[in-house]
Structure 1
Amino acid sequence: MQITCGIDWAEQHHDVAVLNADGSVLARARIDTGATGFSRLMSLLAEHVDDADQLASVPIGIETDKNLLVVALQAAGMTVFAINPRAVARYRERHGQSGKKSDPGDAFVLADLLRTDRHQHRPLPSISVHASAIKTLARQHQDAIWSLNQTVSRLRSLLLEFYPQALRAFPNLKHKAALAVLSAAPTPEAGLRLTARRLATLLRRCRRRNDPSLAEHVLSALHSPALRQPTAVEAAYGVTAQTLTAIVVAMQTAVEELEQALAAEFDQHPLATILRSAPGLGPVLAARVLAEIGDDPTRFTTTAGLRAFAGTAPVTRASGRSRYVKARKVRNKRLGDACHWWAFVTITKSAGARAHYDRRRAAGDHHNAALRNLANKLIGRLWWCLQHDETWNENTAWNIDIATPDPRTA
């Protein structure tokens, strides 16, 4: 019997619906999120297939690709479709216009979606455990950097409210010297008491060179006359600034540890050599690209699919006599971000990439549009390298005759 299964997942439980080929509901269930619920789900599906060999072919729809249930289903060899919630909302309107919504109802919609339009959706790729580990580290590393930048912005905003002298002394708050001095002198009063000898000791601990002009600049900024908050308010601000400074230091350490773990994991992957051969792809960017593309060779059968997934391929909107091309908004934003920075770096690493960028700029593209077009070319050439298991060749990539530099030493 041909059946489809829909799962509406939640934090405390999952709702399941099983449909036959005619759209009739064969079973409904609410299962827990642990191993017991998974066993019950597998038993429920096994009851409605003719033999055990058909179980793996049952399409299962769910609105996420990161749930532990998804991991268990893929490990069991099941065919899982991660359906975009926006698509589910549109399919829900097929069954009624009242706007009602329920968890069991969404499970039914997911199962019916695969029953009628399975060919319009793609199952989750078969990503190796190694690539999944890289994906986890790459995403956590990127999230940690974003969080670090947000915290630094909070610290900068706080200093503007009571201690602008510190920003004049250290415009770059991410620098270890800035964080060390702020920890020692978190208020204007403490900054006024800071001596040249104490400052020199702090800078030396941060491995800054013995530059008298730097110490003089910092002391001049911290000792300059400035407006002050009331004493009690300034002390409160100082405690907050010191706390945020400690958080920034801890986050910087976490980012460094994640980057080291990511580099070590990525270097062991079989595709690392191909990715690193492309100019502009350093260990972090290459790992991010691999994390989002994955290592399933059947995932993207054409370069157009990969370009659309990355968001580098434009979208054409045509209606009547109106026709215009715009940037693609629905995409893998992490892969799109990695490709943007890859293109940005490549224009200084590759003569062919620079020539293509210059042509796009001469044709009227602004900077980001030219980079997006260049990224579209780069991702297509990388797809070819991955499909044919060959490293990057500059002459072939740009149809030019130049000496190909080693991207790891360029």
Structure 2
Amino acid sequence: MPLRLGIDVACRAAHQVSLADEQGRLIWSGRRFRTTPPDLDQLWSSLPDDADPGEVLVVMEPTRNAWVPLAAWFRRKGARVVLVPPERSADLRNYYAKHTKSDRLDSQLLARLPMLHPDGLHLEQGLGPGDALKRAAKLHSTLVHRRTQSLARLDTLLELLGPAWHSAIGADLGNRTVLKFLAAGYADPHVVKRLGRVRLARFCHRHSRGAWGEPHADALLAAARETLELWSDGELDYPDLAEDIAIEARLALQLSEELKDLDERATLVLKAADPNGILTSAPGVATITAAAILGRLGDPNRFDSLAGARAFTGLVPILDSSGLTGRHGGPTKRGDAVLRQALFMAASQARRIDPTLAAKYHRLMVNAGKHHNSALCHIATTLLTRIIACWRAGQPYQLRDVDGSAVTIDQARTIIAERYAIPKDLRARRRTTTNAGTDRRSKESPRAPSTGPSTTHATTPGAA
């Protein structure tokens, strides 16, 4: 007899579970248990004696990471596990009981969901957040974001010392030599002057492996002298500011080291998951991007259709259609953000390497009137479709011309440069966006009164 086990997963409290048959009739409901072997064994023993493990369907919401050990335990028992998006179950709960929300009601609803919405059920086979590649991809994105924020704060702190420091250090604050210099507390102009030209040049030469030398030392000394002249009254506390800058520099250095170690680990995991290098054979997809795509996408074979895989990315447009009217909006952004970012960045490079993608990008920009980001979203979904097709066929990605003939990378770049170059004026127009509201560049409200003379009712000098 088919059984439906609906579990309302809790993070700290006990879970609530209800059992229903294939007709949605509740056999029992509201039982509590925790994620411990004794409780799980007791729950499994409470199923009917004639229950076939293969006919037990466990339905739950992906509540944080608490669902992962539960799903793995039930799969080991032979049951099938289905994850339901919280938004979908919430909408259905509001339909049945708009003003009531309880764990018991949620478990009953999840147990009956297979009968109410069978098309929305998709078996969960993987470990979810427990998968090593998926965790590595998410952690990489998080660390990059944190380092970017740290470098942005570092940039704003250096502005207090004056513009000469940016000229002396350069635009790349992520440079290891720059971070080592700032982490040592050398953002204090008095300390820089005391070090002198020789010791500064020696420091720059050692940490840059010979790339920096006396010219950079001279520039740093000049920046220190300009700061002292700029703050001649001594109002700025140089040691305190230098320590704040050193903290941000040390954080950026540590994050860079963590990213380096994480990338090495992700490379090893990717080689085990994709030994044939199918993902990295695609244009624009290097090792780290491939790890992000495969880690956040999961098994490409789990999708029933390529359209479902494209929808999973959140890069497909919103459709609003009724009767004879309809329109497409921006991307749904309902999928995984890390996957979406990786595909977008890969598409930006792939259009410069693959002639067929370059031709599509050219058509979208020139003929269809799309702007750059919109065109890249189309390229990203096309690239994902081809990657999945290559994965299923077990063959690497092959660059081809629009007529289907195979080409090398050099030939492909030549073809793209000759046929599919976007005019600079057109690209500038496509990248221009109009904002009718207020922003940081234009503080004036659209309804603000004009401060100049009227252009609607012009007057002449001396008119009464």
* TM-score computed with the length of structure 1 as normaliser: 0.87
Q: Structure 1 residues 16 and 271 mapped into 2: Cα distance closer, same or farther (>3 Å)? A: farther
State the match for 1:393 in structure 2.
Answer: 398
- Alignment check: 8 A CA contact 1:62 1:80 kept: no
- What's the secondary structure of 2:248's corresponding residue? helix
Output aligned runs, 1:59-98, within 5 Å.
59-64=58-63, 66-67=65-66, 68-98=69-99
In 2, Cα distance between equivalents of 1:80 and 1:235:
59
1:301 correspondence with 2:301: no
CA distance in 1, matches of 2:32, 2:107: 10
User: Which of 304, 318, 321 does residue 321 from structure 2 map onto?
Assistant: 318
2:153 is aligned with 1:154: yes
Where do 5+ consecutive residues of structure 1 fail to align? none
Q: Which amino acid aligns with 2:137?
A: A
* Structure 1 position 331 matched with structure 2 position 330: no
Distance 1:175 1:160 in 2: 18
Question: Quick one: distance in 2 between partners of 1:132 and 1:348?
Answer: 33
Which stretch of structure 1 is more off in the superposition, 109-118 or 339-348?
109-118
Q: What is the match of residue 375 of structure 2? A: 370
Change (3 A) 1:220 1:162: closer
Q: Residue 277 of structure 1 aligns to a residue in which SS? A: coil
Give the alignment partner of residue 227 of structure 1, picking from 217, 220, 231.
231
Q: Deviations over 1:132-175 (max 9, x none)?
A: 32222222222211221122223333333566654443332211
Ranges in structure 2 where 5+ consecutive residues have no aligned partner: 411-464
Distance (whole Å) between structure 2 residues aligned to residue 127 and residue 367 of structure 1: 36
User: Structure 1 pair 216/38, CA: closer, same or farther in 2 (3 Å)?
Assistant: farther
Q: In the alignment, which residue of structure 2 is the partner of 1:41?
A: 43
Task: Give the 3 Å change call, closer, same or farther, for CA 236–128 of structure 1 in structure 2.
Answer: closer
**359, 365, 369: which one aligns with 1:361:** 365
Q: Following the alignment from structure 1 to structure 2, what is the Cα–Cα distance between the partners of residues 226 and 154?
A: 22
> What do residues 33-91 of structure 1 show as CA deviations (whole Å, max 9, x unaligned)?
333443333334xx236234346x32322234743323333444432222222212211
Letter in 2 for 1:83: V
Q: After TM superposition, which residue ranges in structure 1, 4 or more long, deviate above 6 angstroms?
A: 228-232
Distance 1:13 1:401, change over 3 A: same
Distance 1:310 1:127 in 2: 19
* Alignment coverage as a number of residue pairs: 401
Given the superposition, is the C-alpha separation of residues 232 and 394 from structure 1 closer, same or farther in structure 2, using an over 3 Å criterion? closer
Per-residue deviation, residues 163-222 of structure 1 (Å, max 9, x unmatched): 665444333221111111112313344344442222222222232414543333333223
Does the aligned pair in 2 maintain the 1:11–1:33 contact within 8 Å? no
CA distance in 1, matches of 2:382, 2:177: 41
Q: Counterparts of 1:165-314 in structure 2 under 5 Å? A: 165-170=164-169, 171-184=171-184, 185-204=186-205, 205-224=207-226, 225-227=229-231, 233-270=237-274, 272-295=276-299, 297=301, 299-314=302-317
For 2:45, the aligned partner's letter is: S
Q: CA deviation at 1:250?
A: 0.9
Label 1:227 to 1:58 Cα distance change in 2 as closer, same or farther (>3 A): same
What's the CA shift string for 1:305-340, capped at 9, x where partnerless?
111111233232123554221222212222111110
Looking at structure 1, the residues matched to 353 and 17 of structure 2 have their Cα atoms a distance apart, in angstroms, of 53
Aligned AA (2:328): V
- CA RMSD in angstroms comes to 3.0
5 Å matches for 1:94-105?
Answer: 94-98=95-99, 100-105=100-105
Aligned-pair distance for 1:296?
A: 5.6
Which shows bigger deviation, 235-244 or 85-94? 235-244
Instruction: Give the 3 Å change call, closer, same or farther, for CA 53–173 of structure 1 in structure 2.
Output: same
DSSP 3-state at the match of 2:230: coil
- The answer to whether the 8 A contact 2:53-2:79 is kept is no
SS state at 2:279 partner: helix
Change (3 A) 1:337 1:296: closer
One-letter amino acid matched to 1:377: T
Aligned to 2:116: 116
Structure 1 residue corresponding to 2:386, chosen from 358, 381, 389: 381
TM-score normalised to the size of structure 2?
0.77
**Larger relative contact order (CA 8 Å, sep ≥ 6):** 1
Q: Which amino acid aligns with 2:372?
A: H
Distance 1:208 1:228 in 2: 35
Q: Distance in 1 between matches of 2:119 and 2:175?
A: 52
- Give the whole-Å Cα distance in 1 for the aligned partners of 2:342 and 2:155: 27
For the pair shown, which has the larger CA radius of gyration, 1 or 2? 2
